[in-house]
Amino acid sequence: MIKLFLYLLPLIISCNAIHPGPVVKATKGEVWPKPQVEEKTDEYYIVRPHGFNFKGPNNIGCPNFLNDAFTRYWTIIATSSSLERRGRLHEVGRKPKTEFWKDDSSYIGDLNGLDVQLRECSSEDVRPAFGDNENYTLNITKEGASLAADTIWGVLRGLETFSQLIYLEQDNLIINLTDISDFPRFSHRGLLLDTSRHFLPVYIILQTLDAMSYNKFNVFHWHITDDHSFPYKSRTFPELSDKGAFHPVSKVYEQSDVSKVIEYARLRGIRVIPEFDTPGHTSSWGAAHPELLTTCYTNDKPDEDLGPMDPTKNSTYDFLTKLFTEVVDVFPDSYFHIGGDEVDFYCWKHNPNITSFMEANKISTYEDLESYFIQHVVDLLDSLNSKYLVWEEVFVNGVTLPNSTLVHVWRDNGHETLNEVTKAGKYGIFSSCWYLDHLSSGGDWEKFYECEALDFPGTDEQKQLVLGGEACMWSEAVNEYNIMPRVWPRASAVAEKLWSAEDVNDTAAAKGRLEEHTCRMNNRGIAAQPPNGPGVCL
Amino acid sequence: MIKLFLYLLPLIISCNAIHPGPVVKATKGEVWPKPQVEEKTDEYYIVRPHGFNFKGPNNIGCPNFLNDAFTRYWTIIATSSSLERRGRLHEVGRKPKTEFWKDDSSYIGDLNGLDVQLRECSSEDVRPAFGDNENYTLNITKEGASLAADTIWGVLRGLETFSQLIYLEQDNLIINLTDISDFPRFSHRGLLLDTSRHFLPVYIILQTLDAMSYNKFNVFHWHITDDHSFPYKSRTFPELSDKGAFHPVSKVYEQSDVSKVIEYARLRGIRVIPEFDTPGHTSSWGAAHPELLTTCYTNDKPDEDLGPMDPTKNSTYDFLTKLFTEVVDVFPDSYFHIGGDEVDFYCWKHNPNITSFMEANKISTYEDLESYFIQHVVDLLDSLNSKYLVWEEVFVNGVTLPNSTLVHVWRDNGHETLNEVTKAGKYGIFSSCWYLDHLSSGGDWEKFYECEALDFPGTDEQKQLVLGGEACMWSEAVNEYNIMPRVWPRASAVAEKLWSAEDVNDTAAAKGRLEEHTCRMNNRGIAAQPPNGPGVCL
């Protein structure tokens, strides 16, 4: 048989010599993130794309949804072959193709298709939602290949895994006999993009959604507004982006752009959760609506500056009611991220109206004033039947939150905070050590991989309240020119922490798979950067 | 008059408030790197690309060379206008164009051309060389615009400056009345790319040469081979890349590729200096020629590993003579970088043949053995009439070097080393604090900008021996997917340190110009990353 598994042998390197070639050899046909249960043999099929078909279930709905996915993955498989060959086309004096499998007892035959079984699909319009069942089983046996899942989301995850099991061997696509039973460790596996500090064109967001699906992420957290720009073009208040975007036409997300993003994400089993951060991080709102923000005072006189939203005016809440009613309608996910982080109290402290209001309402601290504001927003979203995420400050400041709230933990002492959050019976989402804007030299993914969300001394009951986490790409220093290689494959490290079993935590063992996964993303058009030092994708 | 210079006013920002919009406002029509002498007024011309022409000298040679440059810069000017307009094309409800200049006393008229005066051009085949005169003067006066230089290289630098003076104002290209007299502070202004640790496709090298010309770099230091791969396809020893490249066909530089790079660089006034690093950093040579390298020993027996080149064998020097004779022929620059850094003595120490050789030749230290090797290479290049650069270790180890040698200082204590190098009467090239592979969060260019090559306590005579420096992009963690945004605009910071006057060293003052320059590079197709936090290119 051909030596398919030699690459799995540990490399024996002496203490001093540097060997030519890649530092980390890519695996072949290994899956990222690693499945929960996987067994493989060295017996294999050959996959010939033009003789290969996905076979959908006959007894179930959603044929269009499935066919869209089948076409996508058939294309991925077909091009992973032709892309590889293209690089070799002009190879001078290369050996004639050998039909290496002919005398190989491990060769089972050609794989003609994947039989897909889906228990139930409610409708073509089905949307991913919090807590979806994403389980699937995938069996490549001598009798053929089959994928079974309860939901369309499980099918999507299984198709991704199937496409990753296929690898190139001497110009042929190979898949080993494999049994996989897989499911995510956490329900909420997110990537945050900040489209305020730099504008990100829609095509970059769509490419990111593609890459997210290759990593089994299921939440796109769209931090759509912040201090520096307001690119969301509101139906109700178009002046917010007319005046608050970096450019009123070329740097805004039209309603049709937002729909495009949501639909593209849906077809990949990815939820889109918008964040309209308040009461801080709102300077850009003030370009069109300065009355929403707190007037700052210097030496007891108003100056030119504006601070956080003004929590004392009913008009602030009236405005938010109108805007958030629209947003909840535009973004179909049942969750909304209401922000609440990093409120600067300077302007509140110096504004005499704020002071009078606090005295009149017996509010003694600025944390309590912030809570007063957030309580209004929370009540508003309750009235809109929307659930929400909040940044950890909202919990820490003691706002009354329903149990459905997800507390998003991000500051440095995140594990302690998660302990507190879950001790209080609240759900936690973890990001503290997954900030992609924190750069180091080198491949710079290991630090993300070596951070475990549940590494705090709580009870099992507490840990079950941690529903997942998010990799966060704040965009102070990224735009369309560098965001793809900055996010990928560094976010892939987080993806594996969120999907795979807790004991999948050996960085050295992950390197070869991440090397392969990075090249796989490159082949699929994602500009992922090299993770492991000197190397090559062939 | 229109308020062209408002952007130059310092922003008055109170201690707390964050203002919407970019953190650093881009300047308009400011030049990077900053010219030595520049005077500007607020009077201006409008440049209409389709009525604009470069007028070459009638009395001088090299019309083809000049016309190539004229076409390139005419295209840059024309597209800088149309690119800007494209983003505004669909602007709903935008104001009709105003002919703002009509009643503006600062408006001089339309600029129909740039009159180019060149003192001398020896031939169409002229090549950039060490110490070239790159001076130019550029005058935009009421009488018209003129550029004068002694050499074609000065013309190229002046054309770049001219193109940067033009900026967009209300959909019109503007240039202010300006007098510039400019020249470089240092003769050797380089960028190193490492094409061994990852292969860089030729198109990436050409894009990099474009970007270098936009920053007035004049040396492309091509670190073409190293331990991990040998991508140079030699005429004499094609087996070196057949076996030592990451792929013998798709990851090699053919002779035609090398010619393409050299010619592309020449037309932009950029020298190409190849580096074939020896005796260390040569593992990839051993794939085809293991006999060149030192056999490593474990427990007094040869093991599977190979170390640095074997300095004891005449065959090593015979091989290098043949290869370097070819290389000196292929690369026309009179300088060659022979490396000599980071030699690991482990294999030399344990190999009994090396030990015998050292005893027989009365060589008592491994540093001396390394010097013995380098002395052969140095003598070889002398015999080939080539000059050379060496990494600092070669100087530190005491190899006899002719005065024409450039000692390339790269280690952390670089300023001390420069002091020693120049005290010994040798030329120095500085890179110690300009390693682009050293990453920090954020825009990450300030640390390069705040490093001054001449910041050591030597005499004026010593400092005149420092001929320049290089930004170094070692490629452990970069390939075609991330190299452009990692290099640009971080290398631009180094470019200004090498071209502009020593007192151009105020980081805060540079920010707005670098913001503009980054957007300018983006408009010209260079994927430079954002330097200064939240912002936008319009």
* pLDDT for A102: 86
Q: What's the mean pLDDT in A406-411? A: 98
- pLDDT in the model for residue B85: 52
Please indicate whether, in this complex, the C-beta atoms of A533 and B437 are within 8 angstroms of each other: no
Q: Which residues of A touch B19 (CB under 8 A)?
A: 227, 283, 305
User: Region B321-348: what's the mean pLDDT?
Assistant: 96
| Alpha carbon separation from B54 to A372, B50, B145, B163, B521 (Å, rounded) | 66, 12, 10, 12, 22
Alpha carbon of B341: minimum distance to chain A alpha carbons (Å): 15
Domains A37-182 and A188-506 alike in fold: no
| pLDDT tens string B249-275 | 999 999 999 999 999 999 999 999 999
Residue A392 has pLDDT above 70, yes or no: yes
Is B185 within 8 Å of B504 (Cβ atoms)? no
Confidence of residue B276 (pLDDT cuts 50, 70, 90): very high
Average pLDDT of B312-338? 98
Which chain B residue has the Cα nearest residue A445? B477
List, as one string, the DSSP characters of A234-272.
Answer: -SS-THHHHHHSSSTTTT-B-HHHHHHHHHHHHHTT-EE
Q: Residue B90: its pLDDT value, please?
A: 47
CB B351 within 8 A of CB B293: no
Asked if B16 lies within 8 A of A347 by C-beta distance, the reply is yes
Our CA-based measurement puts residue A435 at a distance from the nearest CA of chain B, in whole angstroms, of 11
User: Mapping DSSP to helix (H, G, I), strand (E, B) and coil, where does residue A60 land?
Assistant: coil
What H or E segment, with its residue span, contains residue A167?
A: strand A167-169
Nearest to A14 among B227, B303, B484 (CB): B303
Rounded to whole angstroms, the Cα distance separating B382 from B450 reads 38
Inter-chain residue contact B478 with A530, CB threshold 8 Å: yes
Q: pLDDT grade, residue B86 (50/70/90)?
A: low
Q: How far apart are CA B89 and CA B76, in angstroms?
A: 20
Cβ contacts of B254 on chain A, cutoff 8 Å: none
- Provide the 10 A C-beta neighbour count for residue B75: 13
Look-up of token digits 């393409």:
B260
Residue of A nearest to B538 (CA): A247
Whether the predicted pLDDT of A17 surpasses 80 = no
Tell me phi and psi for residue A357, to 5 degrees.
Answer: -60, -40
pLDDT score for B14: 41
What are phi and psi for residue A417, nearest 5 degrees? Answer: -65, -40
Selected for mutation to probe chain A from B24, B196, B246, B350 (highest A CB count within 10 Å) is B246
User: Does the pLDDT value for residue A273 go beyond 90?
Assistant: yes
User: What does the block give as tokens for B308?
Assistant: 């640095």
Give A487 to chain B, closest Cα distance, Å: 11
Nearest to B481 among A21, A198, A528 (CB): A528
The Cα B22–Cα A277 span in angstroms is 19
The burial class, CB within 10 Å (0-12 / 13-18 / 19+), for B268 is: buried
CA distance A11 to chain B (A): 13
Q: Taking residues A13-17, what's their average pLDDT?
A: 52
Residue A7 pLDDT more than 70?
no
- Contact list in B for residue A305 (CB cut-off 8 A) is 14, 16-17, 19
User: What residues does B188 pair with on adjacent strands?
Assistant: B468
Contact A287, A236 (CB under 8 A): no
% helix / strand / coil in chain A, to the nearest 5? 35, 20, 45
Q: What is the pLDDT of residue B127?
A: 97
B contacts of A88 (beta carbons < 8 Å): 249-250
Q: pLDDT tens digits for B414-431?
A: 999 999 999 999 999 999
A379: Cβ–Cβ under 8 A, 6 or more apart, which residues? none
For residue B79, the model assigns a pLDDT of 86
Q: Does the beta-carbon distance from A536 to B438 stay under 8 Å?
A: no
- Flag if B198 and A535 touch (Cβ within 8 Å): yes
Question: Which residues on chain A are in Cβ contact (under 8 Å) with B14?
Answer: 296, 298, 303-305
Q: Which residues pair with A169 in a beta bridge?
A: A172
Average pLDDT over residues A385-396: 96
pLDDT for the residue B5: 38
Higher pLDDT, A58 or B228: B228
| Complex ipTM over 0.95 | no
Write a three-state SS string for A409-420.
ECCCCHHHHHHH
Q: pLDDT-derived band of residue B434, with 50, 70 and 90 as boundaries?
A: very high
Q: Is B518 helix (H, G, I), strand (E, B) or coil?
A: helix
Are A22 and B534 an interchain contact pair (Cβ–Cβ within 8 Å)? Answer: no
Tell me, what's the pLDDT at B538? 86
Q: What's the rounded mean pLDDT across residues B27-34? A: 98
pLDDT, residue B12, reads: 37
A59 pLDDT band (50/70/90 cuts)? low
Q: Would you say B471 and B494 are in contact if contact means Cβ atoms under 8 Å apart?
A: yes
Q: Which of B513, A472, A440, A205 is nearest to B531 (CA)?
A: B513
- Measured in angstroms, the CA of B499 and the nearest CA of chain A are apart by 26
Q: Which residue of A has its CA nearest to B87?
A: A250
CATH class of B37-182: alpha beta
pLDDT the model gives residue A100: 85
**pLDDT tens across A163-215, in order?**
999 998 887 899 999 999 999 999 999 999 999 999 999 999 999 999 999 99
> Cα–Cα distance between A187 and B66 in angstroms, integer?
63
B307–chain A nearest CA distance, Å:
6
What is the model's pTM? 0.95
Nearest Cα to Cα of residue B276 among B307, B218, B306, B319: B319
Query: What whole-number percentage of chain A has pLDDT above 70?
Result: 94
Contact A175, A44 (CB under 8 A): yes
Tokens representing A519 are 């090249």
In this prediction, residue B87 carries a pLDDT of 52
Q: In chain B, what percentage of residues exceed pLDDT 90?
A: 87
- Residues in chain B with CB shorter than 8 Å from the CB of A477 are 441-444, 529-530, 533
Taking the C-alpha atoms of residue B537 and residue B519, their distance in angstroms, rounded to an integer, is: 5
Active-site option among B263, B342, B480, B502: B342
Q: Which of chain A's residues have a Cβ under 8 Å away from the Cβ of B22?
A: 228, 246
Residue A95 has pLDDT above 70, yes or no: no
Helix, strand, or coil here: A497?
helix
Cα A310 versus chain centre, distance: 33
In the set A99, A124, A263, A342, the catalytic residue is A342
Query: Does residue B10 have a pLDDT over 60?
Result: no
In the prediction, which pLDDT does A16 show? 59
Judged against a pLDDT cut of 60, whether residue A428 lies above it is answered with yes
- Write out chain B residues lying below 8 Å of A26, CB-based: none
Question: B534, A197: Cβ pair inside 8 Å?
Answer: yes
Alpha carbon of B61: minimum distance to chain A alpha carbons (Å): 41
Spatial distance between the Cα atoms of B220 and A514, rounded to a whole number of angstroms: 33
Instruction: Give me the residue label for tokens 């003789």.
Output: A51
Active site residue B342: yes
The least confident of A16-20, A501-505, B233-237, B534-538 is: A16-20
- Per-residue model confidence as pLDDT tens digits over B44-66: 999 998 889 999 887 677 989 99
pLDDT bin (cut points 50, 70, 90) of residue B35 is very high
The predicted pLDDT at position A14 comes to 41
Paired with A407 in beta bridges are A390, A428
> Mind telling me how many Å the CA of A251 is from chain B's nearest CA?
9
Cβ <8 Å between A229 and B347: no
Given a cut of 80, is residue B13 above it in pLDDT?
Answer: no
The answer to whether the Cβ–Cβ distance between B439 and A440 falls below 8 Å is yes
pLDDT band of residue A6 (cuts 50, 70, 90) is very low
pLDDT band at B402 (very low <50, low <70, confident <90, very high): confident
Q: Which has the closest alpha carbon to B471: B230, B283, B216?
A: B216
Q: How confident is the model at residue B463 (pLDDT cuts 50, 70, 90)?
A: very high
- Specify whether the CB–CB gap between A431 and A411 falls below 8 A: no
d(CA A154, CA A133): 7
Is A20 within 8 Å of B442 when comparing Cβ atoms?
no
Task: From A142, A71, A338, select the one nearest A225 (Cα to Cα).
Answer: A338
- Tell me how far CA of residue B480 lies from CA of A204, B207, B440, B500, in angstroms: 18, 11, 21, 30
Res. B97: pLDDT tops 80: no
Among the partner-chain residues B249, B443, B481, the one whose CB lies closest to the CB of A527 is: B481
Q: Which CATH number fits domain A188-506: 3.20.20.80, 3.40.50.300, 3.20.20.120, 3.10.310.30?
A: 3.20.20.80
Residues of chain B contacting A436 with CB distance shorter than 8 Å: none
Kindly determine whether residue B283 and residue A94, on different chains, have CB atoms separated by under 8 Å.
no
Label residue A85 by pLDDT band (50, 70, 90): low
pLDDT tops 80 at residue A421? yes
Is the Cβ pair A534, B475 closer than 8 Å? Answer: yes
SS3 B294: strand
User: Number of CB pairs < 8 Å for A and B?
Assistant: 209
Q: Does A2 or A23 have the greater pLDDT score?
A: A23
Domain boundaries, chain B: 37-182, 188-506
* Chain B residue numbers touching A87 (CB-CB < 8 A): 247, 249-250
C-alpha–C-alpha distance, residues B38 and B31, integer Å: 10
CA-based nearest residue in chain A for residue B439: A441
Taking all residues of chain B, what is their mean pLDDT, rounded to a whole number?
93
A13: nearest CA partner in chain B: B305
Q: What is the number of residues in chain A?
A: 538
Task: Answer yes or no: do B87 and A250 touch at CB < 8 A.
Answer: yes
Residue with tokens 């089994």, as numbered in its chain: A216
d(CA A125, CA A267): 10
* Nearest-neighbour CA in chain A from B404: distance (Å): 33
Instruction: Tell me chain B's radius of gyration from C-alpha atoms.
Output: 26
The pLDDT tens digits of the residues spanning B193-212 come to: 999 999 999 999 999 999 99
Flag whether pLDDT at A88 surpasses 70. no
- Cβ–Cβ < 8 Å for B63, B119: no
* B315 confidence band (pLDDT: 50, 70, 90): very high
Which of the pair, A415 or B60, is modelled with greater confidence? A415
Pairwise CB contact (< 8 Å): B481 & A484: yes
Q: Which of B296, B347, B529 sits opposite A482 (nearest CB)?
A: B529
Q: Is residue B83 over pLDDT 70?
A: no
**CB neighbour list of residue B6: distance below 8 Å, 6 or more residues apart:** none
Which two three-digit tokens encode residue A12?
């024996």
What gap in Å lies between CA A536 and CA A329, rounded to an integer? 47
Most A CBs within 10 Å, among B89, B171, B536, to test the A interface = B536
What is the per-residue pLDDT for B518? 98
CA A202 to centroid of chain Cα atoms: 16
Q: Which of B19, B232, B285 to mutate to test the interface with A (most CBs of A within 10 A)?
A: B19
Q: What percent of chain B clears pLDDT 70, i.e. is strictly above it?
A: 94
Which chain A residue lies closest to B487 (C-alpha atoms)?
A: A482
pLDDT tens digits, A455-467: 999 999 999 999 9
Q: Is B204 helix (H, G, I), strand (E, B) or coil?
A: helix
Residue A37: partners with Cβ closer than 8 Å, 6 or more residues away: A179, A180, A181, A182
Confidence (pLDDT) at A97: 64
How far apart CA A52 and CA A36 sit, in angstroms, is: 27
Residues in B closer than 8 angstroms to A478, CB to CB, are: 529-530
Residue B401 pLDDT more than 60? yes
Mean pLDDT of B472-491: 98
pLDDT, position A229: 98
Residue B355: CB atoms within 10 Å? 13
